Amino acid sequence: MQAFTAKLAAVSVLLLGLLSLSPVVAKTPDGRLHANFARRPSVPIVPLPDVVALTSKDGKELPPLNTTYYFDQLIDHNNPSLGTFKQRFWHSYEFYEKGGPIILMTPGEANAAPYTGYLTNRTINGQIAQQENGSTIVIEHRYYGLSNPFDDLSSESLRFHTIQQAIDDLEYFAKNVVLPQPDGDSVKPGQAPWVLIGGSYSGALTSFTMVNKPNLFQAGYASSAVVESIVDFWGYFQPVLENMAKNCSADVQAVIAHVDKTFTFGSDKEITSILKTFNMTALRPHLDDAAGALRNNLWEWQSLSPSSRSGLFFQFCDALEVKDGKSAGPKGWGLQHALQAWGKFWTETYYPSLCEDQDVVSCLGTYDPTQEYWTDTSVDNSGRSWFWIVCNEVGFYQEGAPLGHPTIVTRLVQPPYDERQCTYMFPEAFAKLGHLPVPNVAKTNKAYDGWFVKEKHLFFANGRRDPWREATLAAEGTHFSSTPDQPLALSDGFHCSDLSTANANVDPTVLSVQQQALKAMAGWLAEWKPSAQ
């Protein structure tokens, strides 16, 4: 294969053209295009340290960590004649010594520019690099940020946006890139050991790649890896239910049960009363939108981490459970207080933060297929790119629990609610099916082994309080064993907590997971031997 030389952003003609594009602005604080879209399995951003200049171990001054490089990636690995596109990556050899490993990570379904903190020892990536004298890379996933084969995200352009193409990207990059370091043309797999790291979806991608490309990477680290694709992913809210304050859980369950019963069987007067409580009367034609919108307060759980001291989730529970300076007991204050308190918090505090100056239908309604968030095909639209994968390959629709199981979100929202949205966003791909598109999760799980992955040198790290836990190897009832070849380490953390050094500084269970990983990596990398080139 031909080797492609990385090019600095400062001299890239491509960048000049891309700067003229206007990226889609997310409509919610957590990056979603719409407030009734489910949360993405995203990697938390770790900020860069306040460092004026970095130096290599031999004292050479290094480029700034946010220096952007470009790699000529194949548009279609099944048909190389289609040509290449510019795939962005970032790199540091602060800790590198000749013979050390190359630590590769993609943040997955996001513009990768804010993720250069993962080049540093503020993360497990940098800790491994520091311990093993390695260099670090963050690479942008195809169809995210400015790494796009085409100039739009239409259904036609997205035909090469698949999990398998993303896996093939990692292989082609590793085998062909010339890294911007002194021996950058001689550190390909076989010449140097490579380690693949990921979290959440990119953690699953780490597992999938180890399955699909055996012996390419000497080791892998998969944090909160959502390896099992699931259409009706009601289990997203199970760790939230288990770990939130008992009084808050009791009152949320009571309110949701009341909302569902009233919206299903109540009189027009009773329905209107609830809608007025949350200032959602404009959603009267589509009560599933109104009930589904209340998931947002529970989705805030995903933003928590061991190092966070506060957050909107805690504010929400305090609004429901603290009355006249006194906290409710484990059974909560009961339906009437909780309903009014939730409505007050929603209208006065939460909705302005979530929707800013948007009207209720624009922010929470999902039934107008002409809205811009359905039709905007401009690049750097992570929500659209991710929804393509959701609709086709992974599902992860975050709905209410089945009858007979406690639920903290509405049961009025079920997979067809989300599948309908697939036809709005990608009408060219799905409108002519004659039925709603159902993600082919069985194919995905069969191709990449899902929960039943068994690979050498693959470290899984999970958190008990992670809302994505039920799609990981730590899911309830799975009882997967940790082995020396495929360790499964569990902390008390949240989503991808173990990727961050700061979280380890405040949570000894996260520190323990990182220490186990560092020990495993040391042993696995010591086993590596160069192969004939």
Cβ distance 31 to 38 under 8 Å?
Answer: no
| For residues 3-16, average pLDDT | 37
DSSP class of residue 433 equals: S
Residue 318: the pLDDT is 97
Band (pLDDT 50/70/90 cuts) for residue 3 is: very low
Helix, strand, coil distribution of the chain in percent, nearest 5: 45, 15, 45
Note the pLDDT of residue 431.
80
The answer to whether 114 touches 146, Cβ cutoff 8 Å, is: no
Quickly list H helices, 5-153.
13-18, 124-132
> Which residues, 6+ apart, have CB-to-CB distance to 377 below 8 Å?
152, 153, 154, 157, 384
- The count of residues in the chain is 533
Q: What is the pTM of this model?
A: 0.94
Q: Has residue 421 got a pLDDT over 70?
A: yes
Residues 309-332: tens digit of each pLDDT: 778 999 999 999 999 999 999 999
Question: Which distant-in-sequence residues (6+ apart) come within 8 Å of 379 by Cβ?
Answer: 21, 23, 146, 148, 151, 152, 153
Query: Would you say 356 and 29 are in contact if contact means Cβ atoms under 8 Å apart?
Result: no
Burial of 437 (0-12, 13-18, 19+ CB in 10 A): middle
- 3-state DSSP assignment of residue 493: coil
User: What does the block give as tokens for 37?
Assistant: 């879209």
Which pLDDT band holds residue 125 (cuts at 50, 70, 90)? very high
Q: Which residues sit opposite 74 in a β-bridge? A: 84
CA 289, 468, 321: angle at the middle one, nearest 5?
65
pLDDT, tens digit, for every residue of 454-501? Answer: 999 999 999 999 999 999 999 999 989 999 999 999 999 999 999 999
Whether residue 447 is predicted with pLDDT greater than 70 in this model: the reply is yes
pLDDT digits (tens, 9 = 90+) for 224-278: 999 999 999 999 999 999 999 999 999 999 999 999 999 999 999 999 999 999 9
Assign 72 to helix, strand or coil.
strand
pLDDT tens sequence across 341-395: 999 999 999 999 999 999 999 999 999 999 999 999 999 999 999 999 999 999 9
Q: Confidence class of residue 52 from pLDDT cuts 50, 70 and 90?
A: low
Residue 73's DSSP bridge partners are 85
State pLDDT tens for residues 15-46: 333 333 444 444 788 888 899 999 999 999 99
Whether the pLDDT of residue 91 is over 70: the answer is yes
Helix axes 246-265, 335-345, angle to 10 degrees: 90
Q: How confident is the model at residue 532 (pLDDT cuts 50, 70, 90)?
A: low
